[in-house]
Amino acid sequence: MKPIAQRIKELAAEIGFSECGISKATYLEEDHKHLKDWLSKGYHAGMQWMTNHEEKRVDPRELVPGAKSVISVLYNYYLPPKRSDDALKVSMYAQGNDYHFVMKRKLKSFIHLINENIAPVNGRVFVDSAPVLDRAWAVKSGLGWVGKNSMLINKKQGSYFFIGELIVDLELPPDQPVTDHCGTCTACIDACPTDAIVENKVIDSNLCISYLTIENREDHIPEQFKGKMDDWIFGCDICQEVCPWNRFSVMHQEKEFIPKFDLDIDAESWLHMDEDEFRIKLKDSPVRRAGLEGIKRNVKFVIKE
């Protein structure tokens, strides 16, 4: 009979996850120190929820009593957008349906298959929607290393993927972390137009275009960013676009991530959109997170640069 961990990884592959790794459910001491330092410096900007549930973020047993293992998975979303000359930029991950729902369904299927085919297991699924340090668990599970841009980088496919976890009460042999392969490369640091990468692997969200265009709930973008937004109105992919490891990215095979919203539109189209059109047209899109007024704020700021 195949080892249980191998069987679990085969099930993950059947569902469509491109990578799967396992780590022991334990307290993340070093990551806790980094989190405290990051928060103390105010690098979380207006994301006040990052200060909540600190213990749960660093110990999965606080989220799932009796947890023994964390099973981490990666799901590819790479599909370079086709942009017309006058279109404003939306991050690649937002072209299709909201990944939270897509990933959560797949993770629920995953835990069901484990129960059905391997062993009874109790646990929960997580997709960037609860206090879980996704990248930390992916690193511990051997799925990659954290690059200088703070993104998880996988040697086989770069960084264009979503991360999800199963935290379960099943004792499994853990995988080993891989080594860092960024070396002396500073492509991401050099390319960031707002200098948001303030330290190796540390992002100051106050300076990050992704934060400014999505999570920023103010009615304006600070004037210091004039001329630096590079036409991004939802998210930003610059630090990934220049990463040498992303030359290994391959097109995803997920039909729900195929663009079904016309995001290749100009400033006037965004500014003339009303709430009904926004709600219907972008019904299942991650872009809804910024809200129509947030998108219009971003568009106005960019076109006045």
Phi, psi of 160, rounded to the nearest 5 degrees: -85, 75
- Which of 128, 134, 231, 264 is catalytic? The answer is 128
Query: Which amino acid would we find at residue 33?
Result: K
Burial-class residue 274 by CB neighbours within 10 Å (0-12, 13-18, 19+): exposed
Q: Is 128 a catalytic residue?
A: yes
CB–CB of 21/12 below 8 Å?
A: no
CB–CB of 170/119 below 8 Å?
A: yes
Phi, psi of 270, rounded to the nearest 5 degrees: -65, -45
Distances (CA, A) of 80 to 194, 250, 256, 278: 23, 10, 15, 23
From CA 7, how far away is CA 182, in angstroms rounded?
32
Query: Which amino acid would we find at residue 226?
Result: K
From CA 164, how far away is CA 102, in angstroms rounded?
11
CB–CB of 188/19 below 8 Å?
A: no
Q: How many helices (H) and strands (E) does the chain have?
A: 11, 10
Q: At what angle do helices 4-15 and 99-117 cross, to 10 degrees?
A: 140
Which DSSP symbol is given to 44? T
**Would you name the residues annotated as active-site residues?**
128
